[in-house]
Amino acid sequence: MRAIRLSRTGGPEVLELAEVDVPTPGPGQILVRHTAIGVNFIDTYHRSGLYPIKLPSGLGMEAAGVVEAVGPDVGRFSKGDVVAYASGPIGAYAEFNAVAADRAVRLPQDVTPEVAAAALLKGMTAEFLLRRCHAVQPGETILVHAAAGGVGSILVQWAKALGATVIATAGGAEKLERAKALGADHVIDYREADVAAEVRRITGGKGVPVAYDSVGASTFEGTLASLARRGLFVSFGNASGPAPPVEPGRLSRMGSLYFTRPTLFDYVATTEELDASAAALFDVIGSGKVRVDIGQTFPLSEARAAHEALEARATVGASLLIP
Ligand SMILES: NC(=O)c1ccc[n+]([C@@H]2O[C@H](COP(=O)([O-])OP(=O)(O)OC[C@H]3O[C@@H](n4cnc5c(N)ncnc54)[C@H](OP(=O)(O)O)[C@@H]3O)[C@@H](O)[C@H]2O)c1
């Protein structure tokens, strides 16, 4: 089969298209023939070495397709089932991957493999952020950064469905327009404006009870200064580089703030949590509350171009690789 491999960390140029053996599913595993592969920012962290992986390696955490074979001791799926997975094992940038059956979910009839590959990782992230990390309440005003991106575009729509007022940030006029079209009530170009000052203005000086920040280094200070008394800083990504260390005394001085650095994998740690998170996502997709925006599609062989676009802030919504 064709697969993207890397033998060293670095820029997109370390990604190589290779011919490798189709894996054999071991005990508890299914072999998935991929229809569509999700591109996620975490893939760039694995590639660059920000999140260390064992090399040589494949890349990619998320894909959807058809169960081609089942290994021993698999009761959850049969050959021919249409499934998706979003927690690895690393190696989704390939025609096939062998994954643990209890880390995959069955797709409902109305969710295509393309939509699932674009939405499972990003959408379950939105699910845990909005419903469990902090349970967004109707009438709350929340701050969402990178709102025109993959996770951001789902966050905005889902938060609106929960009854929140959404202050969305993005870079550039076109992305701000997209955020508005997704339902954002207020938009801020964080490349130009003082985010905290704008948030204070919009909230009548109060600040927001929760801020979702996946941008990291460049937005950190503005996010911190945007929080209301006892507000929660949810730092969940590093698109501009990792957020700096947080000194506990600053949280105290800035209004008894809370700070968390969550990861999806701790919120879908059990199969029950995984199934519940995916079901909630498929529900908001099925009801039309969340429209999955596939902004760009690349052939598997052009994974490099997909990474270049994502890191150059040249993408909107989700990106797919098609094998
Ligand atoms: N903790 C978790 O469990 C979890 C799970 C999923 C995703 N994430 C995180 O969520 C974030 C979004 O992931 P995604 O896959 O949906 O990506 P994405 O949001 O589609 O792409 C990242 C966006 O971040 C913005 N950005 C700001 N500064 C940037 C910079 N210096 N370089 C590149 N981009 C920059 C860009 O939007 P503008 O052009 O509008 O600035 C860019 O489009 C990532 O940080 C990812 O690591 C975390």
Q: How many angstroms is it from 132 CA to the middle of ligand 1?
A: 21
Residues in CB range of 192: below 8 A, 6 or more apart: none
What is the token pair recorded at 100? 């643990």
Asked if 252 and 155 sit in the same domain, the reply is yes
Same domain, 145 and 170: yes
How far is it, in rounded angstroms, from Cα 215 to Cα 242? 8
Domain-located, residue 243: yes
Cα dihedral 291, 30, 265, 295 sign: negative
Distance CA 320, CA 299 (A): 8
214 lines ligand 1 (CB under 6 A): yes
Quick check: CB of 122 below 6 Å from ligand 1? Answer: yes
**Which domain CATH number covers 28?**
3.90.180.10
Atom of ligand 1 nearest to the CA of 175: 40
Could you tell me if the CB of 263 is within 6 A of ligand 1?
A: yes
| pLDDT of amino acid 238 | 96
Residue-wise pLDDT for 42-71, tens only, equals: 999 999 999 999 999 999 999 999 999 999
pLDDT for 237 equals 97
Burial (CB count within 10 angstroms: exposed 0-12, middle 13-18, buried 19+), residue 277: buried
Picking from 213, 239, 261, the residue at the C-terminal end of a domain is 261
Instruction: Classify residue 126: in a domain, yes or no.
Output: no
pLDDT at 88: 82
3-state secondary structure of 147: coil
Ligand 1 atom closest to Cα of residue 147:
40
Ligand 1 contacts CB of residue 240 (under 6 A): yes
Assigned domain for 188 exists: yes
Kindly give, in sequence order, each residue whose CB lies less than 8 Å from that of residue 270, ignoring residues fewer than 6 positions away.
none
Give yes or no for residue 133 having a pLDDT over 90: yes
My answer on whether 86 and 171 are in the same domain is no
Residue among 35, 18, 205 nearest 107 (CA): 35
Pocket test for ligand 1, best of 313, 315, 319 (most atoms within 8 A of CB): 313
DSSP class of residue 270 equals S
144 in contact with ligand 1, CB cutoff 6 A: no
> Is residue 145 helix, strand or coil?
coil
User: How buried is residue 92: exposed, middle or buried, by Cβ count under 10 Å (0-12/13-18/19+)?
Assistant: buried
Residue 181 belongs to what domain range? Answer: 137-261
Is the distance from the beta carbon of residue 154 to the nearest atom of ligand 1 less than 6 Å?
no
Digit-coded pLDDT (tens) for 239-268? 999 999 999 999 999 999 999 999 999 999
User: φ, ψ for residue 307 (rounded to 5)?
Assistant: -70, -40
Alpha helices for 183-270 (secondary structure H):
195-202, 220-224, 248-253, 264-267
Whole-number CA gyration radius for the chain: 20
| Mean pLDDT of the residues in the chain | 98
- Ligand 1 closest atom vs CA 41: 15
Q: Which residue has the tokens 């698109």?
A: 239
The pLDDT of residue 87: 87
Residues 103 and 187 in one domain: no
- To test the pocket of ligand 1, the residue of 37, 39, 40, 41 to mutate (highest count of ligand atoms within 8 Å of its CB) is 41
- Give me the residues paired with residue 65 across strands: 34, 83
Residue 104 has pLDDT above 90, yes or no: yes
CA distances from 6 to 46, 92, 147 (A): 10, 13, 31
Atom of ligand 1 nearest to the CA of 121: 6
Does residue 127 belong to any structural domain of this protein?
no
Cα dihedral value 285, 287, 293, 298, nearest 10: 50
Please indicate, yes or no, whether residues 165 and 224 belong to a single structural domain of this protein: yes
With helix as H, strand as E and coil as C, how does 152-184 read?
HHHHHHHHHHCCCEEEEEECCHHHHHHHHHHCC
In a domain, 128, yes or no: no
Q: Residue 253 belongs to a domain with what CATH number?
A: 3.40.50.720
Q: Is the CB of 35 under 6 A from ligand 1?
A: no
pLDDT tens digits, one per residue of 180-222: 999 999 999 999 999 999 999 999 999 999 999 999 999 999 9
What is the number of domains present in the chain? 2
Same domain assignment for residues 254 and 145: yes
Name residues whose C-beta falls within 8 Å of residue 17's C-beta, 6 or more positions apart in sequence. 2, 3, 4, 5, 300, 301, 303
Predicted local distance difference test score (pLDDT) of residue 216 = 98
Q: For residues 279 and 264, what is the distance between their CA atoms, to the nearest angstrom?
A: 15
The answer, yes or no, to whether any atom of ligand 1 lies below 6 A from the CB of 42, is yes
Cβ atoms within 10 Å of 77's Cβ, excluding its own: 18
Q: Which distant-in-sequence residues (6+ apart) come within 8 Å of 322 by Cβ?
A: 35, 36, 37, 297, 298, 299, 300
Question: Using a 6 Å cutoff on CB, does residue 175 contact ligand 1?
Answer: yes
